[in-house]
């Protein structure tokens, strides 16, 4: 949510923006998962543009009012949702929001989602479509819990149990993803394949099946993510282009338009999901 990076304690109150934010006291049990609880304390409402991120986003609403999505034809209001790493342009709105938001690395998402990552590319969908009755039962348990730490603990246990039954990402694919992240997207696919001892074709197929993006697209996304954060923090477009490894400012401009559907200046000005 827009205010969830405020402070560093397990319970933070952003009195300026009106959001109550809770994080797990002991972190999460599953690697590659970040989660937090949110409550709109003064009915400021949620209005958030969805940006491509190198993580799968899950939001489980705990209140009576569903989220509405703009920019996705035919999409009905949702009480919980999951967004792939590279969704199309969309905007999420909500009133009296109370929810848990999770950010899953590709490795964690592959283990717990129960669907091919390819199915989530360029989409935001209802979590109930993936988890069925388990989603409904989980949401009921979370809503009935009286404290944030109880809720976050329930969510942590649920994810761990799904991961124990879920598939495991191939070590070579996991290493390739980790290298892309460590290099901030400034990698060559041929070098990635060589480091795995695989052909480019084999890496392309395995990586796409387990991450949901091609290696090239994943590298572009990670680089864009760093650029988007820098632009939102007030960075000059020319400086951001240089720091993030773009050939020049027009190259940055093209990538921002392709991923975010707007110019770098417009991206820097609009409300987005932080974190």
pLDDT above 50 (res 86)? yes
Q: Can you give the pLDDT at residue 44?
A: 82
Lowest mean pLDDT, pick from 15-19, 33-37, 110-114, 181-185:
15-19
Instruction: Give the pair of three-digit tokens for residue 17.
Output: 């923006």
Structural contact between residues 126 and 66, judged by C-beta atoms closer than 8 angstroms: no
Lowest mean pLDDT, pick from 17-21, 71-75, 266-270:
71-75
**End-to-end alpha-carbon separation of the chain, Å?**
8
**pTM for this predicted structure:** 0.88
pLDDT above 50 (res 138)? yes
Q: Could you please state the CATH topology (level 3) that the domain comprising 11-165 is classified under.
A: Jelly Rolls (2.60.120)
Mean pLDDT of 94-105: 94
- DSSP symbols for 41-82: SS---EEEEE---SSEEEEEE-SSSPBEEESSTTPPPBSEEE
- DSSP symbols for 73-135: TTPPPBSEEEE-SSPPSEEEEESS-EEEEEEE-HHHHHHHS-S-GGGGTT-EEETHHHHTHHH
Q: Can you give the pLDDT at residue 12?
A: 42
Q: Can you give the pLDDT at residue 271?
A: 58
Q: Which residue has the higher pLDDT, 76 or 274?
A: 76
- CA–CA gap between residue 202 and residue 269 (Å, rounded): 41
Homologous superfamily in CATH for domain 171-269: Homeodomain-like (1.10.10.60)
Mean pLDDT of 47-71: 89
- Interior CA angle at 16 toward 10 and 20, to 5°? 30
Mean pLDDT of 183-205: 94
Structural contact between residues 240 and 253, judged by C-beta atoms closer than 8 angstroms: no
* Measured torsion, CA atoms of residues 139, 144, 149, 150, in degrees rounded to the nearest 10: -90
What burial letters (b/e) apply to 174-212, b meaning 16+ CB within 10 Å?
bebbebbbebbbebebeebbeebebeeeebbebbbebbb
Mean pLDDT of 192-203: 94
Q: How confident is the model at residue 275 (pLDDT cuts 50, 70, 90)?
A: very low
pLDDT averaged over every residue in the chain: 88
Q: Can you give the pLDDT at residue 243?
A: 96
Q: Can you give the pLDDT at residue 127?
A: 93
What are the residue boundaries of the structural domains of the chain, listed by start?
Answer: 11-165, 171-269
Phi, psi of 152 (to 5 degrees): -65, -35
pLDDT above 90 (res 218)? yes
Mean pLDDT of 242-264: 94
- CA–CA gap between residue 78 and residue 66 (Å, rounded): 5
Instruction: Give the pair of three-digit tokens for residue 217.
Output: 């697209």
């Amino acid at each position: 949510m827009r205010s969830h990076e405020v402070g560093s304690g397990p319970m933070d109150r952003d009195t300026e923006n009106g959001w109550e934010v809770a994080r797990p006291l002991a972190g999460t049990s599953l690697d590659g998962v970040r989660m937090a609880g949110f409550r709109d304390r003064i009915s400021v409402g949620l209005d958030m543009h969805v940006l491509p991120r190198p993580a799968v986003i899950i939001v489980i609403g705990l209140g009576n009012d569903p989220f509405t999505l703009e920019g996705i034809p035919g999409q009905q209001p949702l009480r919980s949702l999951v967004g792939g790493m590279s969704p199309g342009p969309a905007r999420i709105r909500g009133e009296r929001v109370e929810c848990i938001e999770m950010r899953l690395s590709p490795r964690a998402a592959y283990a717990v989602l129960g669907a091919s990552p390819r199915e989530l590319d360029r989409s935001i969908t209802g979590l109930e479509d993936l988890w069925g009755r388990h989603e409904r039962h989980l949401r009921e348990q979370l809503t009935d819990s009286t404290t944030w730490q109880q809720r976050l603990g329930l969510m942590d246990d649920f994810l761990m149990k799904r991961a124990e039954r879920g598939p495991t990402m191939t070590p070579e694919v996991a290493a390739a993803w980790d290298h892309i992240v460590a290099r901030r997207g400034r990698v060559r696919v041929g070098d990635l394949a060589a480091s795995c001892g695989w052909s480019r074709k084999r890496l392309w197929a395995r990586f796409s099946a387990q991450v949901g993006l091609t290696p090239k697209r994943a590298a572009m996304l990670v680089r864009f993510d760093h650029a988007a954060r820098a632009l939102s923090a007030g960075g000059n477009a020319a400086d951001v282009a240089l720091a993030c490894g773009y050939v020049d400012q027009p190259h940055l401009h093209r990538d921002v338009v392709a991923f975010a559907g707007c110019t770098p200046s417009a991206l820097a000005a609009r409300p987005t999901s932080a974190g």
